[in-house]
Structure 1
Amino acid sequence: MDTTQVITLLTITLPLFGAGIGYLIKSQVEKKKELNNELNKQRREIYQNFVNLIIDIFANTKLKRNTSEQNLKALYEFYKKYVLFASPNVIKAFSDYFQYIYDTQKKEESTFHLSLITKIMYEMRRDIGLNNKGLGENGEMLMRALITDFDKLFEKK
C-alpha cells in the first residue's frame, strides 16, 4: 500500500471510528440522565411523604393528640422507603435525628429537636436541586409557619 491509499483509508475509517465512540459515550450519558431523572422523581415523592408526616406530627401535637408511638412507626416506614434513594447528606441528617430520639437520657430540648428535623428537610431540598438561601443554617425557616414564637425559639444567643 502506498501513502495515498493509507491516507484515504484513514480518512474514511477514523471518522467512522470517532462516530462510533461518540455514539457509545452519548448513549451512556443518556442512560445516566434517564436513571437520575427517575431517581429524582422517586426522591421527590418520598421526600414529600416525609414533609407530610412531619406536618401531621406538628398538627397532632398542637391538637394535643398523643400519637408518639404511631409517629415513630411512621418514621420507620419512611426510613425503609428512603434509604435506597436518598443522598448521603439526607441519610446522615435522618440518622442524626434518630440518634437524638434514641437517646432517652437527653432532656427534651425543642430547639435542638426542631433543628434536626429542619436539617433533614434542608438536605432533601438540596438533594432535589432546590435553593435553600434564606432558610437558615439548618433550614429553620422551613417550619416557621407551624411554630408560634418562632423568632424567640431560634434567637441567637
Structure 2
Amino acid sequence: MELLKTLGPSIITLVGIVIGWYLKEQSEKLRLQKEKLLETKRENYLKVLIPIIRIFAGIRNKNEMEKAIKEVQSFDYKQTAFHLMMFGSDGVVRAYNDFFQFLYNQPDTSSPKLMMTYLGRLVIEIRKDIGNNSTTLKELDMLRFMITDIDKFN
C-alpha cells in the first residue's frame, strides 16, 4: 500500500502525459487531413471555373468560346466536375448544378443577369467553402472584375 501511495501520483502523471500526447497526435493528423482536403478543393474549384472564365473572355472571340465549350464537354472536365460532387460542400454542389441547369435550359443568352446571378452564387459558395464564411459580397460583386457594364444589371 505504501508503494501505491508513493508511485500513484507518478503513474497518474505518466498516464496523463501519454493520453495528452495521443490526443495531440490525433489532432495534428486531423488538421493535416483537413489542410490536404482544402488544397484539393481549391485546385478542383479552379479547374471547374477556368472554362467558365474562358467563356466570359471569349464572348467576342468565337475561337475562345469554342475552346471553352469543347473543354466543358470533355471527359477531363466531366471528371473534374465529378470530383466537385464528391469533395465540394453542399452549397457549392447545389450552386454548380443550378448554374449548369440554367445553361442547359436556356435556348440562348436571353437572361444575362440571371446567368450572372447563378455564376456569382457559385463563386460565393466556393469562397465560403474555402474559409470566407462571413463574406458580405453579393453575386454580381463576384463578377465585377470581368464584366465592364455589370452595373446596368443591378
TM-score tier by shorter-chain length is: 0.7 to 0.9
One-letter code aligned to 2:60: K
Per the TM alignment, residue 25 of structure 1 is displaced from its structure 2 partner at its CA by 0.9
The question of 1:146 aligning with 2:154 is answered no
**Worse-matched range after superposition: 15-24 or 84-93:** 84-93
Structure scoring higher RCO (CA < 8 A, sep ≥ 6) equals 1
Query: Which of residues 59, 62, 74 is equivalent to 1:61?
Result: 59
Trace 1:2-151 onto structure 2 (pairs within 5 A): 4-65=2-63, 67=66, 69-70=69-70, 72-73=72-73, 76-104=78-106, 108-130=110-132, 133=135, 135-136=137-138, 138=139, 140-151=140-151
Give the Cα–Cα distance (whole angstroms) in 1 for the partners of residues 72 and 16 of structure 2.
56
Contact 1:125–1:132 (Cα < 8 Å) also in 2: no
SS of the equivalent of 2:144 reads helix
Q: Compute the TM-score of the two structures, normalised by the length of structure 1.
A: 0.79
Per-residue CA deviation, residues 31-82 of structure 1 (Å, 9 max, x unaligned), is: 1111111111112212222332221011222224553752541553431232
Give the Cα–Cα distance (whole angstroms) in 2 for the partners of residues 122 and 48 of structure 1.
13
One-letter code aligned to 1:38: K
Stretches of 4+ aligned residues off by more than 6 angstroms: none
One-letter code aligned to 1:125: R
The 3 A distance-change label for structure 1 pair 63 and 132 is: farther
The 3 A distance-change label for structure 1 pair 12 and 107 is: same
Per the TM alignment, residue 131 of structure 1 is displaced from its structure 2 partner at its CA by 7.0
Give the Cα–Cα distance (whole angstroms) in 2 for the partners of residues 59 and 41 of structure 1.
26
- Structure 1 residues not aligned, in runs of 5+: none
Report percent identity of matched pairs: 28
- Structure 2 residues not aligned, in runs of 5+: none
